[in-house]
Chain A
Amino acid sequence: MSFSLAHALTGLFWLGALLLLGGLARRASLWQQGRSASVSWLGLLAMPKRYFVDIHHVVAREPAVARAHVAAAGGGVAILLLSALNYGLMLYQGWLDVLLVLMAALMLLGARMMQARRLQAPPRLSQGRWQVLPARLRLFALGSLLAAGLLFAGPQLGMAGQLIAVVALLMLALGGAELALGIGLGWPMKHAVAGLLHLAFHPRAERFAAKSSDLKPLNLAAGELGVAKVEDFAWNRLLSFDACVQCGKCEAACPAYAAGQPLNPKKLIQDMVAAQSRGTDPAYAGNPHPGREAAVMVQPGEDIVGSVLAAETLWSCTTCRACVENCPMLIEHVDTVVNLRRHVTLSRGEVPGKGSEALANLRNTDTVGGYPLAVRYHWAIDLDLPLLQPGEQTEWLLLAGEGAFDMRYQRALRALVKVLKAAGVKVAVLGAAERDCGDVARRLGDEAGFQRLAQANIATLAQYRFARIVTPDPHVFHCLANEYPALGGQFEVWHHSKLLEHLLARRAIPLKADATPLPPLTFHDPCYLGRYNDGYHAPRNVLKGIGIKVVEMPRSGRDARCCGWGGGAAFTDIPGQRRIPDMRMDDIRETGTGRVAVACPNCTAMLEGVVGERADVIELAELVAERLA
């Protein structure tokens, strides 16, 4: 009998392995629908580091879940490896059985922890097959435990032993099916295989080396116009969707979802899975896009937007990257959103709300709001701000950005110039030669518009001589620092928070001597400074430098909630239950400080647009200017 149990295990192992391979082949054929992408096979070697370091960074934010996963996944992988040795290769070593029993116990523990968590599952978690997965894993672990235990106990099995062996085999078969069939049938355990491959062939592999948040340029000359159909995604992008574990961390972080706009990033990723699998996967059992039916119909060959995905879903995204930052599977939602938008904008020309007007303004006037370029620096008329002439030299070139047209934000700009002057910084501006940086165009999917503006700006900037660029607009900062290099524009760009921090640290800014403590306030992180560029410390150091205590909101720094402006969302203005800035103002109110410091013209406008009792919104530069001696 023991002979037959061991052989049965060998048979079961190879059967499972075959099924897994077959399933993988089927899934790979789905990924193959996508475009080719240049990937490095060395990624396979980098996989362990990416798994243990990069994923760990994200997962460790929830220690209990991390521990459960380590136990279940670690135990599971160990069981598979040991089984491969002991039964697959038919070594049938007793000491391996012992190890197996230990690993099975570990996995059992992990699965048990997971199951316990599922009892009070947060609403962001998907139900359906995901809900029963821990139980299945327990079966598998228990089956392994029993089988290995029986084998170790000896060749002689009594009636009871035989019965247990049969039960153990059944358990193994049932539990193992999750993995063996999962990849092929799109069951939850698909994530294990797809997730590992995703780590190896990540579409943004550079993120494993350093911060990477730039959108990649389209090759317009080659006819690239974004993603219309599944086939237009790169194959490894399709693979990345299959890595999703439907944990809903993105859903919980998404400001648009919280505002009741029809976007749930988790569902968005699952929509992409449904599109590539043509709906053959088990039905989605998580929260829908708010206000939309959960079920979607998928017609093969159809455009994604309009069939699987409603356009409003796409346009609700503020590109705040909160989802990306929180995704344990390192999925890049924003890339997908923008890729899909590119098709809708470039090919169909269907940008909703005032988005199309903003794009038309950019085409016609090189400003988002349709202003004459000549008035951009009117607010500085009495500030004696030098206009840089081609060939002249300056230390700092100030790019005011679109905020220069906003009467409110002009106050902040004036404050900034005052502070820089007081600190003796040599700064000049371009005047009418400054065009929009192209941020809004690019996030709204108008890649052609972005590239036109970027190239024009790069050509303009090349005519001037300056050491560095400083801008108070994080969007200008991000575009110039991170996205212009791909188009050939290499500039050293600083956000004004960094320059102010630098000047304060060098005591270059003459501050008032009086020691009256300033009332504390809270700080709202701009997405394009914070999550996009890890610029969390500079603004806080500036506030500290002028003696203001920051009372942090629960959602701050990496978890800061977007103000709702980004990605052109203020222009497309997709209706929801609430407005994102109203929610952010609630966050601010909760700190009880009654004042919020901001470091972005758009955050300023969005937060000041909140109606009713609201906190004072003050720009960083204004706060420093107030403290000038």
Chain B
Amino acid sequence: MDFSTQAIPRIDPRRPWVLGPSGLKRIVLGDDSGSRDAALLAHGPAHKPLRSSGPFSQRLLVVAHAERGQLDDAAREAIAAAAILAGKDGEVLALLYGMQDAAPEALAELAVDRALTVADPGYAPEQKLALLQQLLQQESPHTVLFADRGEDADLGRRLACRTRLSVVTDVVEIAADGVRRRQPGAGFSLRERAQLLLLARGVAEAKLPFVGKGERLQTTALSAISEQVQDLGSAASPASELALEEADLIVSAGNGVSNVPGFLALAEALGAAVGASRVAVDDGRFSRDKQVGATGKTVQASAYIALGISGAVQHLQGIKSCRHVIAVNLDAAAPMIKRADLSIIDDCQSFISAFEALVRRERKEKQQ
């Protein structure tokens, strides 16, 4: 984060930036070219050297599902782990679902040497297993890596059970003496490195100083395979209806939020679940099931946006395990500001309407 080095950044927050060589964002004074989109990482592959040009005598396989053509951090970390473990003579192979449109440069930037990119067939474990088994036979990688979350975790476990390959799940550390996972009640348990590794978040640093070859891999088409389990379709429930405990993004209102309809509109625009402080609940602004805190819900969102909440201990107890806390408050001395990763000193009402307008505009732009 570029503005974390100074307490009060004197920057125009909308100013465009470019990615520097170390992967950092740079704002060049007077320059108005550049990007505001953090997801666009297509800059700079030219700056990075190739990890290894081969020849390869052994290989690792990473399997990952992309969402909307993008790999998330967990999947990037799995690939990074493979690239770091591969060594000079090791090749990084990848089976990527949902990245059939990715350019070779994008694959190279991910540090993948060779990738089989296929359209994601949705729920089709048997079909995916068949492809994987074919790939294993064809390429015989010594290790297969999955991110241990979502579809990848499911497929990894299925593969382990189908092929009886040795497996370690929830790997938090890969070291020379083996792999470590957390042991409830103890610290770590150390095991031998298995053929299949399901990786927890943070096992490797996703930012890499090199690129891969970014080639494409071919396999013969598989015949149709019947599934034991039928997929009857999925639906995303609107975030506002999502149980708070399950929500990944929460906007939460406190005593400082007087414009409740405006606040709810923001939540809807953001696709965020709605929380509230006890005072806001007591006043009848929100129902009791929205209360976050010691006597309310304990939430685990990745991002918790606290609007007009002072941050009493009883409230903070409920957001202990939120990764990113963003506070908006008029009072820079409020305890919530101490807890927050990003604090905005502003009036809630005007912030809410500005933020809602911005979110709606940006969403629309994205859709076009």
Contact = CB atoms under 8 A, between A and B. Distances in A.
Interface of A: 353-354, 406-408, 570-571, 573, 575, 579, 605, 609, 611
A609 B282 CA distance: 13
Nearest to A406: B313
Contact of B295 (A353, A406, A408, A611): A353
A611 B279 contact: yes
A613 B361 CA distance: 40
B295 A573 contact: yes
A579 B314 contact: no
A354 B313 contact: no
Contacts of B288: 575
Chain A at the B interface: mostly helix, strand, loop or mixed? loop
B58 to A, nearest CB: 46
Interface string B279-318: 1001000001000001100000000000000001110000
B295 A407 contact: no
A609 B295 contact: no
A579 B282 contact: yes
B253 to A, nearest CB: 14
A30 B313 CA distance: 51
Given A407-B313, A575-B288, A611-B279, 13 more contacts: A353-B295, A354-B294, A354-B295, A406-B313, A408-B313, A570-B295, A571-B295, A573-B295, A579-B282, A605-B314, A609-B312, A609-B314, A611-B255
Contacts of B294: 354
A573 B312 CA distance: 17
Nearest to B294: A354
B149 to A, nearest CB: 26
Output the residue of A407, A573, A611 with the most chain B CB within 10 A. Answer: A611
A369 to B, nearest CB: 8
A153 to B, nearest CB: 70
Interface residues of B, number: 9
Contacts of A609: 312, 314
Nearest to A608: B312
Contacts of A605: 314
A538 to B, nearest CB: 29
A567 B36 CA distance: 55
Nearest to A570: B295
Output the residue of B255, B295, B312, B314 with the most chain A CB within 10 A. Answer: B295
B110 to A, nearest CB: 42
A579 B313 CA distance: 18
B172 to A, nearest CB: 21
Contacts of B312: 609
Nearest to B310: A611
Contacts of B255: 611
Contacts of B279: 611
B137 to A, nearest CB: 49
The 9 closest A-B pairs by CB, nearest first: A573-B295, A611-B279, A354-B295, A611-B255, A609-B314, A353-B295, A609-B312, A407-B313, A575-B288
A406 B294 CA distance: 13
Interface in B185-225: none
B224 to A, nearest CB: 50
A571 B293 CA distance: 12
A408 B288 CA distance: 26
